[in-house]
Amino acid sequence: MDVKMEESWKTALSAEFNKPYFMQIAAHLKTERATKATIYPPGSLIFNAFDKTPLNKVRVVILGQDPYHNPDQAMGLSFSVPDGVPPPPSLMNMFKELQTDIGMPIPTSGNLTKWAEQGVLLLNAVLTVRANEPASHAKIGWMDFTNAVIRKISEEKQGVVFLLWGKFAQEKQVLIDATKHHVLKAPHPSPLSAHTGFFGCKHFSRTNQLLAKQGLDPIDWMI
């Protein structure tokens, strides 16, 4: 199957595209579109995280669960929303933590493309969703694909900082070789759990400290 994706990822993941589960994803999306279902993000942005952060540029991974399911929010980058769209609650809590952690003013834009372009892979475990139906595509095969992505990063890279927020993300730790990568864990930034340990985790400054120890440039978290 010919998948439109940034070339380094397309090469690294080529074995996945002809597996039955990936064929199932494509068939499922085609069927839903045929019934006029609205799917987020738009087709051109489903692999946006890969296009913005080539495999050889990955230094940090922030793992989300599901794309936003409301209109105009999902843009193929976990937690990110386009310019002009108010930051959702979890993203606002990330900004609050950035403010207390590194003194960053809380931005008005929730567009995290700048992070992605610096090597922060903003990966959702599920890459599509039906409008207004959270987790509606959680079982169509995407997790097989994104698990393969995490394994590939773990195998081919060294010293990547994985930020695993919440139980769902932390279950992916088994895919990561912690002897060669850094895994930082905290509760999810959702308003339901941020106060139980996400606030005060200092993951943003700790990430930059871990990168600095490897002689790598820090992430400029300013939006």
> Residues 177-196: pLDDT tens digits?
999 999 999 999 999 999 99
What is the predicted pLDDT for the residue at 4? 87
Q: Is the pLDDT of residue 144 over 70?
A: yes
What is the predicted pLDDT for the residue at 102? 98
- Catalytic positions are 66
Mean of all residue pLDDT scores within the chain: 96
Predicted confidence band of residue 2 (pLDDT cuts 50, 70, 90) = confident
Is 210 in contact with 161 (CB distance < 8 Å)?
Answer: yes
Is 80 in contact with 105 (CB distance < 8 Å)?
Answer: no
Q: Is the pLDDT of residue 212 over 80?
A: yes
The structure's pTM equals 0.97
Q: Is the pLDDT of residue 22 over 90?
A: yes
127: left (phi over 0), alpha (psi -120 to 50) or beta: alpha
Query: At 70, is the secondary structure helix, strand, or coil?
Result: coil
Query: At 12, is the secondary structure helix, strand, or coil?
Result: helix
Q: What is the mean pLDDT of residues 44-60?
A: 97
Q: What is the mean pLDDT of residues 56-82?
A: 97
What is the predicted pLDDT for the residue at 44? 94
Q: Rounded to whole angstroms, how far apart are CA atoms 162 and 178?
A: 10
Q: Rounded to whole angstroms, how far apart are CA atoms 25 and 12?
A: 19
What is the predicted pLDDT for the residue at 111? 98
Q: What is the mean pLDDT of residues 114-125?
A: 98
Q: What is the mean pLDDT of residues 71-91?
A: 97
